[in-house]
A and B are shown apart, each in its own frame.
Chain A
Amino acid sequence: MDKDINKLYKEGFTKPVIRIGRWTLIAATFFCFVPSIYLGLRYGAVPPIGNILSAWLLIASIYGPYYFIEPISYFPVLGIAGTYMSFLAGEIGNMRLPVSAVAQNVLKVESGSKKAELVSTLAIAGSIVTSVLAGTLAVLAGSVILGVLPPFIIKMFDFVLPGVFGSMFAMFALKAPKYGIFSLTLCILMQILLKTPVYVTIPVTIFSTIGLALYNSRKNKVNNN
């Protein structure tokens, strides 16, 4: 019976999602070039190939490691559907991870279950609608909106990120204080003492915390037996 559900889920959800995820990401990659093609065709704004390549090389030498590190590091949290959606729409830390966590919390689903995966998927989809709406509103009416808000509220906007991350860290640290303290201490020490670059700090923090958690759970299992 369990096997049946696994199989049905794989055929009904995982496989179709891989198909959708793959073609939408490839289509999006292509569509992102449309404005460049337009600028070239209509205005002849075609940079010499050498300049394009040197800019590409420079930017890839800065961000190249993240192309690999981020999807791998966040996969254990986002899951398959979440990864396709999050790496297309971005804002992973400040939007996708928090809404996935909040939804799983509110609906009290067992973390790691299929039910949790669907809840997280739907929450991420909901947040994508929010970000497209917010982005559209900001670009069309941002200056008008900021113009009518009192200065104090505008100043508050500067602190959205520490606000999100402080809240979310506390939520998880309360659930599993050991892992919260371990991972926070580790990544602060790495950054202050070793000055590790971000593409080292993220995976080392995430995978050593996972390692510690797995080690502990195995140890407990052995003790219980």
Chain B
Amino acid sequence: MLMGGNKMKEYLEIANQPLMWLMVAPAIFIVLLQAFLISKKAVKNADLVGLTKEEVKSAFKIGFVSGIGPALAVFVVMLAMTAVLGGPITWLRTVIIGAASTELAAATIGAEAMGVEFGGADYGITEYANSVLTMVLNGSGWLILCALFTDKLDVLSHKISGGDVKVMGIIGGAAMAASFSYLVSGHLIAGGARLLTAVVSGVAMIALIYIVKKFPKLEEHSLGIAMIIGMACGAAYVL
């Protein structure tokens, strides 16, 4: 108890140790390796479905570029996570499936199961180890289920659509609209600056869809532009 302050410092020192970076590196490497191997298969089969070399390149590039805006979200939450979990584990948990809220909930439960407060005075290296294990065990749920059942979902979806491209398109389009409805709904319900940001971004996107017809080069940046306009309004509203 008396050593509380030191104990806490001790766990973060270990958590930020150079070797810890090395220990999380293999999992992060797998993320990149998987994306590389699957892309290779996509490239190999491009001819078969009438996808040109140019289109292959631009599909990848569009993914890379339009991911930049959304990826900014990670900057803010990572700082908060790094302060309590250390750099390496934060890196691991944000690159692999983790959403910050999920990971912090797991880390908290891991600490509570040891009878201490997460990040509190009694939170030492063993408690930290339990937080890490809880995050990893939780994440394994998605990984293992997807490893086992993704191919079954494919069989199921072919059965439902009968392999008909039109029907697959209808299903995919409706699912995409519904996914974004769900994702945006929380921000609309929250009201205030979040509501404002969502609405302004949406209006900007609709305007851009018409504008890019005249300036096709802009099209792959429309998500970024719409986001920035909305985010600026949100920030102006609170400041």
Contacts and interface: CB of A to CB of B under 8 A. Distances in A.
Contacts of B64: 126-127, 129-130
B173 interface: yes
Given A55-B110, A71-B149, A34 B27 contact: yes
B182 A47 contact: no
Given A77-B179, A158-B235, A168-B223, A18 B150 contact: yes
Dominant secondary structure of chain B at its interface with chain A: helix
Contacts of A162: 184, 187, 194-195, 197-198, 201, 230, 234
Given A55-B113, A77-B175, A134-B75, A71 B150 contact: yes
Interface residues of B, number: 155
A124 B105 CA distance: 27
Interface in A1-57: 5-6, 8-9, 12-14, 16-18, 20-22, 24-29, 31-36, 38-40, 42-43, 45-47, 51-52, 54-56
A68 to B, nearest CB: 6
Contact of A97 (B30, B112, B180, B238): B180
B14 A43 contact: yes
B23 interface: yes
Given A35-B92, A71-B153, A170-B203, A209 B142 contact: no
B121 interface: no
Contacts of B72: 134, 157, 160
Contacts, number: 574
B67 interface: yes
A38 B174 contact: no
Interface string A90-103: 11011101111111
A131 to B, nearest CB: 5
Nearest to B168: A112
A94 to B, nearest CB: 5
Nearest to A149: B75
Given A59-B134, A158-B235, A160-B73, A171 B167 contact: no
Given A84-B150, A125-B35, A166-B184, A119 B206 contact: no
A64 B147 CA distance: 16
Contacts of A90: 94-99
B3 interface: no
Contact of A159 (B126, B163, B194, B209): B194
B22 to A, nearest CB: 9
B182 to A, nearest CB: 5
A30 to B, nearest CB: 9
Given A126-B64, A135-B91, A159-B234, A180 B181 contact: yes
A107 B144 CA distance: 33
B85 to A, nearest CB: 10
A84 B96 CA distance: 12
A167 B61 contact: no
A40 B180 contact: no
In the A-B complex, the 3 residue pairs with the closest CB atoms? A126-B63, A112-B169, A112-B168
Given A152-B236, A180-B177, 8 more contacts: A52-B137, A84-B34, A87-B143, A88-B143, A89-B97, A91-B99, A130-B67, A188-B188
30 contacts: A34-B23, A35-B24, A47-B130, A55-B130, A59-B138, A60-B141, A76-B175, A83-B153, A88-B96, A91-B70, A93-B183, A106-B62, A114-B48, A124-B35, A126-B62, A126-B67, A142-B82, A155-B235, A163-B198, A163-B227, A165-B184, A165-B187, A166-B197, A167-B222, A167-B226, A169-B177, A169-B181, A183-B178, A206-B178, A213-B173
